[in-house]
Structure 1
Amino acid sequence: MNVFFRIFVLSLTLSNTVYAQSQSTESSSNTDISEEKAHPNFVFGLGYGLLDEQSLLNIDFKINIPLNAYLSTQLLLNSNYLITGSSETSVAQSEFSSNWFLQNGYGRLGLGLGISEVEPMDERLETERDVIGQFIGEAFLGDFSLTANYISTEKTLSNITSSRLGVSYYFNDDVRTSLYREKYDDNDNGWRLETYYQPQKYQQQGSIGIIARTGDEYDYLGMAVQYYFDHAISLKQREREFH
């Protein structure tokens, strides 16, 4: 996992450079200052829940970098820690990926490539690594969103690392509920229900989510908190501008 963190720190440094350049370009331009420009979006997420009555801790870092009005890229680092009370069955899973999107006001299509690593807490056991591919498709239909996401890995611990097909509904600009049909591995499918709420306090820079999913071996109930290092925008606008 140290390799993942080094890559992520390098990516963060590069994205900061991109952001500084965009700020410099904007300040030197003569365009209307009321015209809003897209800037890199940084997200930190922390989650905790019970996976089949065992503790699962989830830590996420995400950088969304708009390149122009129709093209954006994303760097994603997910870390998950399954704590069973035994070093033989406790594991840490990390996933680092780079995703690229074509998008407009009606939806987005994305492709990604990354590395997944499953590291047992017992040092006598070997670490498993796998190259993963990803396809993301979303359609925006008023207050509804349709989502299709395929991930090639067969190792699933995270509350987000899984292939899914589903629908989201925004009760208002800052409350979303989603229902997905998910595939966790070759032998297990299930349902996932989640609700996210973004308070208008504190510049709308945080959201809280409740997540429940069911499967033969992947029953999960937990919550997640996300913090956004950007300006105040609604949850609906944020999730349609960034992935």
Structure 2
Amino acid sequence: MTILSRTVAFSVVLSVVMSAEAQAETELPNFAFGLGYGLLNQKSLMNIDFKVNIPINDYLSTQVLLNSNYLITGSSKDSFAQSELSSNWFIRNDYGRLGVGIGVTELEPMDTELETEKEVIGQFIGEVFLGSFSLTTNYITTDKTLSNVTSSRIGLGYYFDDDLRTSFYREKYNDQETGWRLETYYQPQKYHQMGSIGFIARNGQDYDYAGVVVEYYFDYAVSLKQREKQFH
């Protein structure tokens, strides 16, 4: 099954899950769709994200995430598509959350003569919320990721208000290389807080990147701060 067909199938499954869970839970699931575009060392990198967060009770929740990246260089020799499908589970309260996850990543070269690479991945996620500040750490077992979501990182975020956040991270990339990442997300109240826009910049010897990401949420009237404390 190709990355595109898996993406379509995933979105259909999530729609069914959302409908069923919405009837069963008082705290509704959160479904998000994101599109991103940027330049990675002057090469086009596009990403498409699907994410569903399902509350189980006041202290437990689960998340299913599909992240697809497309590096377009103008040559099939070094262009590729990468997808990550993972399931994460969290223990949470008002002050933070701890999570573990497992999934699979697939690297599919555009050159049909090259083989597709697959790898099982595991990850650990930890977040602490202290007023207007948030401390985030994420560790992923694979060294073959371009994902803007699952790079191994540790960093600090600050909320200027409930719908504007800036974060600064130290990240680990391929082959143990490290770099810095700065991002800002804004969620306008004008449109019932149903979408956000993010600006991302990061540096590294082979991973300089600048880009923008737009997310749409299938709920409304939830502040960015509240949304990220519950789901991120």
Structure 1 and Structure 2 fold alike (TM over 0.5): yes
1:241, CA displacement in angstroms?
1.2
AA at the equivalent of 1:18:
E
Query: Could you list the runs of 4 or more consecutive aligned residues of structure 1 that deviate by over 6 angstroms after TM superposition?
Result: none
User: What residue is the counterpart of 1:197 in the other structure?
Assistant: 186
SS in structure 2 at match of 1:204: coil
Unaligned runs of 5+ in 1: 23-36
The answer on 1:15 being equivalent to 2:18 is yes
Contact 1:166 1:178 in 2 (8 A): yes
Structure 1 CA distance, aligned partners of 2:150 and 2:137? 13
1:11, CA displacement in angstroms?
4.1
Structure 2 CA distance, aligned partners of 1:9 and 1:199? 28
Unaligned runs of 5+ in 2: none
1:208, CA displacement in angstroms?
0.7
User: What residue is the counterpart of 1:32 in the other structure?
Assistant: none
User: What residue is the counterpart of 1:167 in the other structure?
Assistant: 156
Percent identity over the alignment is: 66
Which of 32, 36, 56 is the matching residue for 2:45?
56
Structure 2 CA distance, aligned partners of 1:3 and 1:233? 30
Contact 1:182 1:191 in 2 (8 A): yes
1:128-143 counterparts in 2 under 5 A?
128-143=117-132
Structure 2 CA distance, aligned partners of 1:38 and 1:16? 13
Cα deviation per residue 1:48-100 (whole Å; 9 max; x = unaligned)?
00000000001000000001000000000000000000011100000000000
Contact 1:4 1:96 in 2 (8 A): no
1:18, CA displacement in angstroms?
1.5
1:16, CA displacement in angstroms?
2.2
Cα deviation per residue 1:185-229 (whole Å; 9 max; x = unaligned)?
233100000000111111110111100000011000000101100
1:8, CA displacement in angstroms?
5.0
Structure 1 CA distance, aligned partners of 2:12 and 2:102? 18
The answer on 1:6 being equivalent to 2:9 is yes
User: What residue is the counterpart of 1:146 in the other structure?
Assistant: 135
Task: Give RMSD over aligned pairs.
Answer: 1.2
Contact 2:37 2:211 in 1 (8 A): yes
User: What residue is the counterpart of 1:111 in the other structure?
Assistant: 100
Structure 2 CA distance, aligned partners of 1:173 and 1:11? 28
Cα deviation per residue 1:106-153 (whole Å; 9 max; x = unaligned)?
100000000000000111110000000010000000000000100111
Structure 1 CA distance, aligned partners of 2:163 and 2:10? 33
Structure ID, larger Rg: 1
Contact 2:143 2:176 in 1 (8 A): no
Structure 2 CA distance, aligned partners of 1:236 and 1:122? 42
User: What residue is the counterpart of 1:25 in the other structure?
Assistant: none
SS in structure 2 at match of 1:202: coil
Contact 1:8 1:77 in 2 (8 A): no
Contact 1:135 1:151 in 2 (8 A): yes
User: What residue is the counterpart of 2:176 in the other structure?
Assistant: 187
Q: TM-score, normalised by structure 2?
A: 0.95
Report how many residues are paired.
229
1:43, CA displacement in angstroms?
0.3
